[in-house]
Structure 1
Amino acid sequence: MCGISGIYNFDRERVADEKIIVQMANKIQHRGPDDAACYVDGHVGLGFVRLSIIDLDHGMQPFFSPDKSIVMTCNGEIYNYKELRHKMEAKGYTFQTNCDVEVIVYLYMEYGVDFLNMINGQFAFALYDKKNELLFMARDHFGICPLFYANLDDAFIYGSEIKAILEHPDVTRKIDHKGLDQIFTFPANIAPVTFFDDVRGLEPGHYAILKNNKLETKEYWNLDYPTSNYDYGNKSEEYYVENLNDLLLKSVDYRLNADVPVGFYLSGGLDSSMIGGMMRHIDKDKEFNSFSICFPNTENKDINEQRFQRMLSEKVNSKHNEIEFRWDNFESKLRDVIYYSESPLKETYNICSIALSERAKSEKIKVVLSGEGADELFGGYAGYKFDGRREGNIGYKDLEHLREDEVRKKLWGNPDFIYEKNENEFRETKQALYSSLLNKSYKDFDCLREPAIDHARIKGRHHFHQRSYVDFKLRLGGHLIADHGDRMTLANNVEGRYPFLDVDLINFAKTIPPSLMVKDMQEKYILKKVAEKYVPSQIINREKFGFVAPGSPHLLRTNSEWVNDLLSYDRIKSQGYFNPDTIERLKKMYSRDGFILNPPYDLDLLIIVLTFNMFIDVFDVPNAS
């Protein structure tokens, strides 16, 4: 993993400012502390910071075509680069390094943008084609690698993280109110929306071409589940188990390719345990580090997964690293997380995530494998089990239900699809939270007034596939592999890799009958069958639960000065984003003896407000206007 940034001035006589490009790159040096480069050619400039993982001595970027007319920087990994390299060498191309991403230059020369359908990886790159006078950018299928941009009047600015783009003097820090509305409504912002008015995010599975000072974005891949009339044939359960096993092993093997030590995160649950078990199956002799968060002193002993973590570590003989987590220095840790996430938070668990990568860095581990993506692909949440029971049991609908149907039809294209909550009812809560200033323009940024996804992708699909698609688009890309994943690993110069997010694996998994995903109310049934070869039965059969980090009720009871300041009446009023009277009522409610929130059913409204106010401080955001 690395960090990329750049400037494309629309006036070809205006030379890209090298000083600004260096400042942009320096702002994301945590993504690439090993080396840095700045390339300027007239009105175009590219910045790069490197985290050395493959071909340590010769993999420095930018990469060029033989005639220097194409220049490219890339953040990420191309996992099938060896196969692609052999293919291009057979066509007469000569490679200068053993670095995986060099293949992108030659693939572009041979196939143009169509090569995106040939690569398997996690990537975000920018390629400047001088002959055709265009800038070509792309982001991987699932959005593992971030890529943001600001399309201004005089220039196009891009970067791996928003903080790089904010270094350009023409980019404002004004809040996009739709970004704020989305964080209350969905698991995360939905690309292209961000928290900043000037900054957009390139969507997963999309590429962008800037030519003649005009930007065009296009989709090259999307998760496309079969329609309800799809013929799954008479294939046996064993067929699916064997093929899924082979593809997952291949995916893990791809992600073990590195010229530096590789470790893995170990939660004690099924998904991370499978990854660890498969790593040992593939390589019987290599030493692997495993990293776990444990909570030995918590009152709720159920959340301490130490027993299961140690069980898997002993089975695969990993060098196990336990981080006994304590919530001291909470404020500074939370500010760090917000700085790297570039977003307010809906919960504080990211503090645990950044602690994991901090330990990996201390152990000199630059690459970690993680289990994200399995829940969204194989049905690991409660909703997958209960959708089938709801189907066909709609019954009588009163006026409130009919209003909710209208909202769901707008969001999902299906009035009967229930994602997390009653959105129309919650709309009133949001409006009560917002200041009178924001409510004056609420219709302009109300995220319930437009589709949250491409309706065509869930129309006519099985209810399992509908939920999986929505989870992929709303929960996975913008949240679990963004502020939980990429940002928290690279905050400490560590690259996260995700074997469940492999395009070949997912293209097969989408053909598995839903009846094998959830069977007899058992979630992830088919995945558990594969896991039997690698994971102790105690882990496979244990009940799934989610750890809940301390939220705003806990913080209010500490009566800390920093919490009181962030939620003070005067501060809330002067900033102009929220209604100070509503915040006061919430503070009283959350502070009552015995008051508890029950995630995921109850949303912690005040933690969003509190971390939004931290976000304002961290990024020097102006008051609402």
Structure 2
Amino acid sequence: MCGICGLAYVDPARPVELDRLLRMRAAVAHRGPDGAGERREAGVGLGHTRLSIIDVATGQQPLANEDGSIWITFNGEIYNYRELAAQLQSHGHTFRTRSDTEVLVHAYETWGLNFVERLNGMFAFGLHDVRNGRVVLGRDHLGIKPLFYSVTDEGLFFGSEIKAVLAGSGCAPRLQFASLQEYLVFRYVAGSRSFFHGVHRLPPGHVAVWQDGRLQVQRYWTAPGPAAHNDSTGLTLDQATDRLEELLAEAVRSQLMSEVPLGTFCSGGVDSGLVTTYAARHADRQLATFSVGFAERTWDETALAQDTATRARASHHVLRADPHTFQATLHRLIWHHDEPLSHPNSVPLYLLSRFARQFVTVVLTGEGADELFGGYPRYHITRLRHATAHLPQWSRALTAGALRRLPGHRAAKLAELLPLSYEDAVIYNSAYVSPALVSRLTGAPIDDAVAERRDLVAQAFVPGDAVATMTRYELATYLGCALDRMDRMSMASGLEGRVPFLDLPLVEWTTSLRSALKVRARENKRVVKRLAERYLSPRITRGAKSGFGIPLKGWFQDPAFSALLDRMRDPRHPAAAAFDRPTLDRLLAEHLRGDQDHGEVLWLLANVYLWHEVQLWGNRGD
């Protein structure tokens, strides 16, 4: 795991200024505390900061092929690199290192741009093909590793984090208004757009080629949908459970490769519990596990995490979080994240990563299982909305009216979605804040904010299968939010996070699996929970969904947050111009009086205010 950066000028003869490249590299120095390197040629510069995991002795970057005609700066891990190295040696390539990075330059030489299709891992890279005068950017199939870029009149600037891109381009940070609206509705920005004007993210499963002063972005992978005939057709639940066990156990085993200490994040839930179980089974020493706890018993799941660790015979470590530490950390984390934080659990995740780094350099986590196997309640809502697709609009409107009289959040959510088109129902099913409220807050419609999501829904659509459609849409949207959070919060402390549920063979098998084996009636993640019953406590497998949650409602009423709330009331604050003052004041007053719980939208608004302080005032919380 590392930090990468680079630039390519429109003028291929223009020398690359060393200080410019070093500024970009310094912006991601926290990602690679074990070493740094750079490479400059006419028109192109590559930078790298290294966190040593594999081939600690000889894996320095940027790295070249035998004749120096191809150079690469790479972040991530390639889990099938040994198999690829053997194939490449049969093609006559000679390896000078034992690193997975060297496999990439030889693979590009042999197979061209299509080499990325052969990779199983998490990766982002910038590759300079000197002979053909082009720079290639690439990102893994699911977007586990980040890669951002900007194209200006000078050329292309790219990096693992937005701060590196801005350090190279010299552009001042500017808020993208449509991204602000999208963030306030969904808690994150999906697709290729970022929170910054002029800065883009390379989408998962894509490569980009810079040549002759132009950038061309192209897709190389799409998640398959359920197939009429494949090896998962007709599987019973027990058979699917056996196959899932084989794939997940192999994914965990392959991701244990490391020359440094390794552990797992164990939240007390099913997904991290299974990863911990298999990691303990295959580890060559006692596994270290980590969880975070809270004083509020409703949110504390350390007892469940301890139970899993005990069953796995692991050495378990617990960190306690509190409101004061939470509030005091926010500026720093937004600087690391570049964009406003998506979920409050970014804070305990960062604190836990910093804590775990005292013991290990790599952790395995349970990210990705919910998106692959239908782990969220919104999968049931999508199924119900799909079941009414044949009804005329007036009938759906009547049904929605009846649902509004029923208690509970899910009935209200379904009532909100029924009158909408199926496309919009899928999009707004994952909304955390009312689009109407965001329009009032920002003083404008949100149509532009959801335009790219409409394209993503169209690409994800599987006729007649709401669960498969939702899965493919979530892989292209919310999964990226979760992975960005994991990457930034762990790498802020120089800790590598790995995600076995997103091992490529497991992903492609899962997305082709019949939806009834994932979600049915009131059940979520059926096959995952059936597997978990073999190893984990019934309190975990039969309990409510868990994770690193946050008691947000009460914490916003804690005195630790009073100074932040005062700044949100200040009309002179640089963020204030983006919002309707009466609407914001009403939200604050109702929440603090206890009349309504506006914790979700206040969390997002607070992040926007803090983002302005980080970007415009330079307040990094140091």
User: What TM-score does the superposition give when structure 1 sets the normalisation length?
Assistant: 0.90
**Alignment partner, residue 507 of structure 1:** 508
CA deviation vs aligned residue, 1:234-293 (integer Å, no higher than 9, x gap): 33434322222111111101110000011000001100000011112223x512110000
C-alpha separation in 2, matches of 1:593 and 1:416: 31
Provide closer, same or farther for how the CA distance between residues 302 and 564 of structure 1 changes in structure 2, counting only shifts above 3 A. Answer: closer
Provide closer, same or farther for how the CA distance between residues 215 and 287 of structure 1 changes in structure 2, counting only shifts above 3 A. Answer: same
**Alignment partner, residue 204 of structure 1:** 204
Secondary structure at the counterpart of residue 362 of structure 1: coil
2:415 is equivalent to residue 420 of structure 1:
no
> Following TM superposition, by how much is the alpha carbon of 1:161 offset from its aligned partner in structure 2, in angstroms?
0.2
**Alignment partner, residue 477 of structure 2:** 474
CA deviation vs aligned residue, 1:191-246 (integer Å, no higher than 9, x gap): 31101112110000000000011100000012121368999643343432222211
C-alpha separation in 2, matches of 1:557 and 1:323: 21
Secondary structure at the counterpart of residue 605 of structure 2: helix
> Following TM superposition, by how much is the alpha carbon of 1:506 offset from its aligned partner in structure 2, in angstroms?
1.0
Secondary structure at the counterpart of residue 591 of structure 1: helix
Provide closer, same or farther for how the CA distance between residues 217 and 461 of structure 1 changes in structure 2, counting only shifts above 3 A. Answer: farther
Q: Which amino acid aligns with 1:35?
A: G
**Alignment partner, residue 349 of structure 1:** 345
Provide closer, same or farther for how the CA distance between residues 309 and 74 of structure 1 changes in structure 2, counting only shifts above 3 A. Answer: same
C-alpha separation in 2, matches of 1:386 and 1:88: 48
In the alignment, is the contact (CA less than 8 A) between 2:280 and 2:286 conserved in 1? no
In the alignment, is the contact (CA less than 8 A) between 2:233 and 2:513 conserved in 1? no
> Following TM superposition, by how much is the alpha carbon of 1:144 offset from its aligned partner in structure 2, in angstroms?
0.6
C-alpha separation in 2, matches of 1:51 and 1:32: 4
**Alignment partner, residue 184 of structure 1:** 184
Q: Which amino acid aligns with 1:429?
A: L
> Following TM superposition, by how much is the alpha carbon of 1:119 offset from its aligned partner in structure 2, in angstroms?
0.7
Once the two structures are superposed, the pairs formed by residues 7-406 of structure 1 within 5 Å of their partners are 7-168=7-168, 170-226=170-226, 233-283=233-283, 285-295=284-294, 297-298=295-296, 301-363=297-359, 365-393=360-388, 395=391, 397-398=393-394
In the alignment, is the contact (CA less than 8 A) between 1:292 and 1:323 conserved in 2? yes
- Using the TM superposition, name which of 228-237 and 507-516 deviates more: 228-237
In the alignment, is the contact (CA less than 8 A) between 2:5 and 2:46 conserved in 1? yes
> Following TM superposition, by how much is the alpha carbon of 1:519 offset from its aligned partner in structure 2, in angstroms?
4.0
Once the two structures are superposed, the pairs formed by residues 557-576 of structure 1 within 5 Å of their partners are 558=559, 560-572=561-573, 575-576=576-577
> Following TM superposition, by how much is the alpha carbon of 1:74 offset from its aligned partner in structure 2, in angstroms?
0.3
Secondary structure at the counterpart of residue 146 of structure 1: coil
In the alignment, is the contact (CA less than 8 A) between 2:55 and 2:99 conserved in 1? yes
Secondary structure at the counterpart of residue 578 of structure 2: coil
- Using the TM superposition, name which of 556-565 and 577-586 deviates more: 556-565
CA deviation vs aligned residue, 1:75-111 (integer Å, no higher than 9, x gap): 0000000111111111111101111121000000000
> What are the ranges of 5 or more consecutive residues in structure 1 without an aligned counterpart?
598-602
Q: Which amino acid aligns with 2:460?
A: R
Q: Which amino acid aligns with 2:436?
A: E
| Percent of pairs with identical residues | 29
> Following TM superposition, by how much is the alpha carbon of 1:307 offset from its aligned partner in structure 2, in angstroms?
1.6
Secondary structure at the counterpart of residue 59 of structure 2: coil
> Following TM superposition, by how much is the alpha carbon of 1:397 offset from its aligned partner in structure 2, in angstroms?
3.2
**Alignment partner, residue 613 of structure 1:** 609
Secondary structure at the counterpart of residue 453 of structure 1: helix
> Following TM superposition, by how much is the alpha carbon of 1:188 offset from its aligned partner in structure 2, in angstroms?
1.5
C-alpha separation in 2, matches of 1:314 and 1:543: 21
Secondary structure at the counterpart of residue 189 of structure 1: coil
Provide closer, same or farther for how the CA distance between residues 552 and 576 of structure 1 changes in structure 2, counting only shifts above 3 A. Answer: farther
> Following TM superposition, by how much is the alpha carbon of 1:385 offset from its aligned partner in structure 2, in angstroms?
3.3
Secondary structure at the counterpart of residue 438 of structure 2: helix
RMSD: 2.9
User: What TM-score does the superposition give when structure 2 sets the normalisation length?
Assistant: 0.90
C-alpha separation in 2, matches of 1:620 and 1:532: 51
Once the two structures are superposed, the pairs formed by residues 482-561 of structure 1 within 5 Å of their partners are 482-483=484-485, 485-545=486-546, 548-551=549-552, 554-556=555-557, 558=559, 560-561=561-562
> What are the ranges of 5 or more consecutive residues in structure 2 without an aligned counterpart?
401-412
C-alpha separation in 2, matches of 1:91 and 1:573: 59
Q: Which amino acid aligns with 1:428?
A: A
Provide closer, same or farther for how the CA distance between residues 552 and 175 of structure 1 changes in structure 2, counting only shifts above 3 A. Answer: farther
C-alpha separation in 2, matches of 1:568 and 1:234: 59
**Alignment partner, residue 429 of structure 1:** 437
**Alignment partner, residue 600 of structure 1:** none
> Following TM superposition, by how much is the alpha carbon of 1:562 offset from its aligned partner in structure 2, in angstroms?
2.4
C-alpha separation in 1, matches of 2:313 and 2:43: 54
In the alignment, is the contact (CA less than 8 A) between 1:408 and 1:414 conserved in 2? no
C-alpha separation in 1, matches of 2:559 and 2:91: 67
- Using the TM superposition, name which of 271-280 and 285-294 deviates more: 285-294
Secondary structure at the counterpart of residue 208 of structure 1: strand
C-alpha separation in 2, matches of 1:34 and 1:208: 29
CA deviation vs aligned residue, 1:572-621 (integer Å, no higher than 9, x gap): 58742111222111111111135335xxxxx7222212111110111127
- Using the TM superposition, name which of 166-175 and 247-256 deviates more: 166-175
CA deviation vs aligned residue, 1:501-528 (integer Å, no higher than 9, x gap): 0111111112322111124522111112
CA deviation vs aligned residue, 1:334-361 (integer Å, no higher than 9, x gap): 1112111112234422110001111111
